[in-house]
């Protein structure tokens, strides 16, 4: 657990949260206050307010206050409630899988690729399936980048091919084969009914069908994508909300250089292996 925990000095001395039994902070330590919003499929009114209160009680919440009730649509009400939760969390036991390569900046990525790869790294990306959201993949790949961070197209040592949105998974994989890509980047924004999971599985299927598994780096991104989900689905890495191009470039460059070095070492070991037949040590071959 590497998150920074606050320490506040007050009348009672220095206080901070108990990392083994942490509670939400509303307006004082350990008050356990939560803000919850939800819809009920019934018209707003006294019955809906009571239904919302009883529903929250059933979760074990205390001090329930329905602070806002509104009309959401015909037959639907919308609520904002404040509640107190008795539940605590031990944050010392939390382990989150993360992309853990050290972070290189724009110049660092280019220098590494130039020195160790000796050619451009080729990356092909798209937002696939029915998903039409181009902004996420553009943020990572397009020249102008995102949040003041240049996109992959801007890197002199990266050849970035952005196929856009609503691309069939099979077409993205075909492009990767045709271009001899080092990496496939896929963006998934729509997550209703877990359509992103289904689509990522389909992409993985296409990758395996094309014999690319373990030959290209597979990276997924989107506001609801986590590294954990991506890895569970067989991808190499996942990037979520707020990702910037340089963290993706940094990961890809270091991972590719690592893979190339491993391949070269494997080849060298293969070459040095003693062979039977014509290559056997003197004296072994002609004995009869």
- Name the site residues for ligand B12 (rule: CB under 6 A): 125, 130-137, 139-140, 146, 185-187, 189-192, 219, 221-223, 239-243, 248
Instruction: DSSP letter for 234, please.
Output: T
Q: Which single residue brings its beta carbon nearest to ligand B12?
A: 221
Q: How far is the CB of 121 from ligand B12 (least distance, A)?
A: 14
Q: Which is nearer to ligand B12, 81 or 189 (CB)?
A: 189
> Do 89 and 22 meet the contact criterion of CB atoms below 8 Å apart?
yes
Instruction: DSSP letter for 202, please.
Output: H
- How many Cα atoms sit within 13 Å of 270 on the Cβ side? 6
Q: Which is nearer to ligand B12, 84 or 226 (CB)?
A: 226
Q: Cβ atoms within 10 A of the Cβ of 188, count? A: 28
- Written as six digits, the tokens of 208 are 């395996």
Q: In the beta sheet, which residues pair with residue 10? A: 13
Q: Which is nearer to ligand B12, 17 or 238 (CB)?
A: 238
Does 144 qualify as catalytic in the annotation?
yes
* DSSP H or E segment with residue 44: none
Q: How far is the CB of 220 from ligand B12 (least distance, A)?
A: 6
Q: How far is the CB of 125 from ligand B12 (least distance, A)?
A: 6
Catalytic residue selected from 144, 213, 263, 267: 144
Q: How far is the CB of 10 from ligand B12 (least distance, A)?
A: 38
Q: How far is the CB of 246 from ligand B12 (least distance, A)?
A: 11
Neighbour-count burial of 7, counting CB atoms closer than 10 A to its CB (0-12 exposed, 13-18 middle, 19+ buried) = exposed
Closest Cα partner for 183 from 198, 162, 205, 209?
162
Q: Which is nearer to ligand B12, 69 or 137 (CB)?
A: 137
Work out whether the CA dihedral 11, 16, 21, 26 comes out positive or negative.
positive
Q: Which is nearer to ligand B12, 85 or 134 (CB)?
A: 134
Q: What share of the chain is helix, strand, coil (3-state, %, to 5)?
A: 35, 25, 40
What is the distance between the alpha carbons of residues 85 and 40, in angstroms, rounded to a whole number?
Answer: 21
Tell me the catalytic residues: 144
């Amino acid at each position: 657990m590497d998150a920074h925990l606050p320490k506040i000095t007050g009348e009672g001395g220095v206080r901070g949260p108990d990392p083994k039994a942490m509670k939400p902070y509303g307006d004082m330590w350990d008050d356990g206050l939560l803000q919850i919003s939800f819809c009920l499929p019934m018209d707003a009114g006294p019955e809906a307010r009571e239904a919302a209160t009883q529903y929250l009680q059933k979760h074990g919440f205390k001090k329930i206050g329905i602070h806002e009730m509104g009309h959401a649509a015909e037959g639907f009400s919308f609520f904002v409630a404040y509640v107190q939760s008795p539940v605590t969390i031990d944050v010392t036991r939390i382990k989150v899988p993360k992309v853990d390569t050290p972070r290189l900046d724009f110049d660092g990525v280019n220098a590494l690729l130039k020195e160790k790869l000796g050619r451009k790294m080729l990356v092909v990306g798209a937002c696939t399936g029915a998903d039409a959201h181009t902004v996420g993949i553009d943020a990572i790949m397009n020249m102008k980048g995102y949040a003041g961070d240049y996109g992959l197209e801007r890197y002199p040592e990266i050849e970035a091919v952005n196929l856009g949105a609503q691309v069939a998974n099979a077409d993205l994989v075909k492009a990767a084969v045709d271009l001899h890509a080092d990496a496939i980047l896929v963006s998934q924004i729509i997550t209703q009914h877990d359509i992103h999971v289904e689509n990522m599985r389909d992409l993985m299927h296409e990758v395996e069908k094309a014999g690319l598994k373990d030959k290209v780096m597979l990276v997924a991104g989107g506001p609801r994508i986590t590294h954990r989900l991506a890895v569970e689905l067989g991808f190499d890495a996942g990037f979520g909300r707020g990702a910037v191009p340089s963290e993706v470039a940094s990961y890809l460059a270091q991972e590719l250089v690592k893979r190339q070095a491993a391949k070269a070492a494997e080849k060298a070991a293969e070459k040095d292996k003693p062979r039977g037949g014509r290559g056997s040590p003197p004296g072994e071959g002609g004995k009869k």
